Amino acid sequence: MRSEMCVTSALHWPTEMSISTNQFKNGNHIEVDGTVFKILEFQHVKPGKGGAFVRTKLRRTSDGAVIDRTFRAGEKFREVRTEVRRMQFLYKDGSDAHFMDTDTFEQLTIPEASLEDPLRWMKESEEVELLYIDGNQADVQLPSAIDLTVTETEPGLRGDTASGSGTKPAVLETGVRIQVPLFVNIGDTVRVDTRSGEYVSRA
């Protein structure tokens, strides 16, 4: 079992260990006004006049909504521990995603809306890493790149090479649509960047 760290606001716990905006990383979690968010992007800004600040894009873990939020540079947050458990992704039913603990066979559900991005890349029956925050399941942690099979695309053109220009739409086995090079065909396995949704290479 592996543990990872995230952050939450120090405003209500001034005596706790704290970290600042200088230690932000994509994937960290912070608590803002009592709500937990995942940091998707952040940018340190030093204007010519006025104090420096950090501009962030955050995803609310409860429902997957994305917001923009700005913090003062150096603002401190309380450090909290999160836990990662390996679970088997069973299926999604249009409202919830269903998982099972392979040790205890306990099943649990998470609203699909809160897992919108990771569900694009997850195959039924595969094991995934489920992130728990404050004892509650909150997110799925995926590797930066995964391999998926192409199930729909136009036929490749004769003479196309990996260095050739041009792309075409393709549907992968999880149902997600991406752009792939012209030489990729149905049945090919491709590597995709789960952060950007872009084709990386043939696997």
- Cite the residue boundaries of each domain of the chain with CATH code 2.40.50.140: 83-141, 145-202
What CATH fold (topology level) applies to the domain 145-202? Answer: OB fold (Dihydrolipoamide Acetyltransferase, E2P) (2.40.50)
Q: Does the pTM of the predicted model rise above 0.95?
A: no
CATH homologous superfamily, domain 83-141: Nucleic acid-binding proteins (2.40.50.140)
CATH of 2-80 among 3.10.450.50, 2.30.30.30, 2.40.110.10, 3.90.660.10: 2.30.30.30
Q: What is the mean pLDDT of each run of 10 residues along the chain (203 residues)?
A: 39 53 81 79 86 87 80 78 86 92 89 86 90 77 89 73 72 93 92 89 85
| Gap between the Cα atoms of 163 and 183, Å rounded | 10
pLDDT for 6 equals 39
